[in-house]
Amino acid sequence: MCFSTVYDYATRYGALGRMLDLLFRPLRIPLPRVLVGEAAIEEWQESETSLGIRVTISNRLFGQFFGYQGVFQRVGESAAGIRLSAAIPIVRRRLLRGARVALFLFAFMGTAAYAASFGAAMITDAARAWGVRLAIAAGLSWPVFGLALLRAGGPGEIWAWVDVCLRTMARGMVILSIATAINLVLAAAGMRAGGTGFFAAHLGLLFTSDVTMATYFVREATRFGLSPRIALALWVGVLNGMFGLSLVLL
C-alpha cells in the first residue's frame, strides 16, 4: 500500500508492507501491522540542479531503525550525470537490552565508586560529605530530566531517549572515572586531600564532564527532532538546575 502527501516545500511518500511471500510463490499471508515495516520518503527542491531526499524505515513496535538523508545533484545533461552527494545516516540503531543494562550499571556503579573514593584514607570529612552529596544529586536529577525529556520529545520515542541518555551518561562517567582514580592515587600515596586545590580539580572535572555530555546530548536530541535551543534549555534548566538545587538542599 502506498500513499503520498504534498506540502508547500516537499512531497512525502509512504509505503506499508502487509504481506509475506512464501518461497517466491503467489501464496501471500497478511501480517499484522505491528510486525511490518513502514517506509517514508520526503523529497524537496534544494536548488535548480539538486533535489533533497530523506528516507526512513520504521516499525510501530520498534520505531525508526534505518534512515538516511542526502542530495541528488545534476552534474550533466544525461541521466548518468546525476550523483547522490552528502548522504548521511539519520537513524541510529537502538541499543540491545544487554547493552542498556551494561551502560546503566556502568553509570550506577561509576557514580557509586566516585562517591566511595572520597571515603578513602587521608581525605577530609568535608570532602567525603561532598562526594556523597554529588552522588545523591546525580541520582535525583537524571530521573527528573528523563521525565521532562519525554514530555518535550514525546512518549512514542521512549526507548530512543533512553538510549540517548545512557550513551550521554557513559561519556560523563569516563571523565568521572579519572576523578575516582585521582582520589585513590592520593589515598595510596598517603597524601592529605580536601583543600582548595583538591576541590578546584574536582570542579574542573565535573565541568568538563557536564560540557562533554551536554554537547553530545544536544547533537543527538537534534537528530530526533528536538531543537538545539530546547535541548540545551532542558539540559541547563532541568538537569543542571535539579543537580544544583539538590546540592544546596542536601
- The span from the CA of 79 to the CA of 39, in Å, is 25
Amino acid 47 reads: S
pLDDT at residue 217, rounded to an integer: 92
Query: Among the ranges 30-44, 45-59, 65-79, 105-119, which has the highest mean pLDDT value?
Result: 105-119
pLDDT at residue 76, rounded to an integer: 64
**Whether pLDDT at 41 is above 50:** yes
Mean pLDDT to the nearest integer, 56-71:
70
Under the banding of pLDDT at 50, 70 and 90, the label for residue 4 is very low
Q: Of all residues in the chain, what percent carry a pLDDT higher than 70?
A: 67
Q: How many angstroms from the chain centroid is the CA of residue 249?
A: 29
pLDDT at residue 238, rounded to an integer: 92
Query: Among the ranges 24-28, 29-33, 124-128, 144-148, which has the highest mean pLDDT value?
Result: 144-148
**Whether pLDDT at 10 is above 70:** no
Phi, psi of 75 (to 5 degrees): -115, 0
**Whether pLDDT at 78 is above 50:** yes
Mean pLDDT to the nearest integer, 194-211:
81
Q: Which residue has the higher pLDDT, 244 or 83?
A: 244
Mean pLDDT to the nearest integer, 149-173:
81
Phi, psi of 208 (to 5 degrees): -60, -40
Q: Residue 70 forms beta bridges with which residues? A: 53
CB atoms under 10 Å from CB of 138, counted, come to 22
pLDDT, tens only, 14-37: 555 554 444 455 556 566 665 667
Please tell me whether the overall predicted TM-score, pTM, comes out greater than 0.75 for this model: no
Amino acid 29 reads: I
- The span from the CA of 31 to the CA of 17, in Å, is 9
